[in-house]
Amino acid sequence: MNQKNSFKVSDYFGYRIENQIPQWMSGIVLEKVFNPYKDMEINIPEVLPTLNESVLSKNIKDSTIQKNTSSKPMSLEEYWLARYILLILAKADKSKVYIFHVQVGDLVLVLNLYWNDDEWDSDGYSFDGGLDLFARRRVFVSLPL
């Protein structure tokens, strides 16, 4: 079987687009992460990276998550590849809230991905934006360094 070696972000992801996985995106995700990069071409490596998942067992700040998991923010390319792996290839677990730290220019954004009734929702906020992430269903996703 011949596997694709790349995809354009908008091939699989968008805001409530017919014939795609049902998705909703908050304003910050649309403005900072999707709209400026919807035509970005994402390379699919021959050997896909394994996504590390760290269950959050208590309230915790983003900087503490980074320290405890020895991880760094993902690039936008890595984020879209991780979404592709979760939603297209792996059929993500609808009972989890996936959390990503993503470098967008000079900012690090915290992006959440979770199933909400009938679609995958994405929202975001600034790194250490004053929120302690509560543990219920939350899984921090990172790539191996």
CA 55 to chain CA centroid, Å, is: 15
pLDDT at 143 over 50: yes
C-alpha to C-alpha distance for 11 and 17, rounded to whole angstroms: 10
In a domain, 134, yes or no: yes
Domain of 85, in residue numbers: 6-44+51-142
In a domain, 18, yes or no: yes
In a domain, 58, yes or no: yes
In a domain, 10, yes or no: yes
C-alpha to C-alpha distance for 48 and 32, rounded to whole angstroms: 26
In a domain, 124, yes or no: yes
pLDDT single digits (tens) 88-118: 888 889 999 899 999 999 999 999 999 998 9
26-47 average pLDDT score: 93
- pTM listed for this prediction: 0.87
In a domain, 101, yes or no: yes
How many structural domains are present in the chain?
1
Question: In 3-state terms, what secondary structure has residue 37?
Answer: helix
In a domain, 1, yes or no: no
The owner of tokens 């679609």 is: 119
- pLDDT grade, residue 9 (50/70/90)? very high
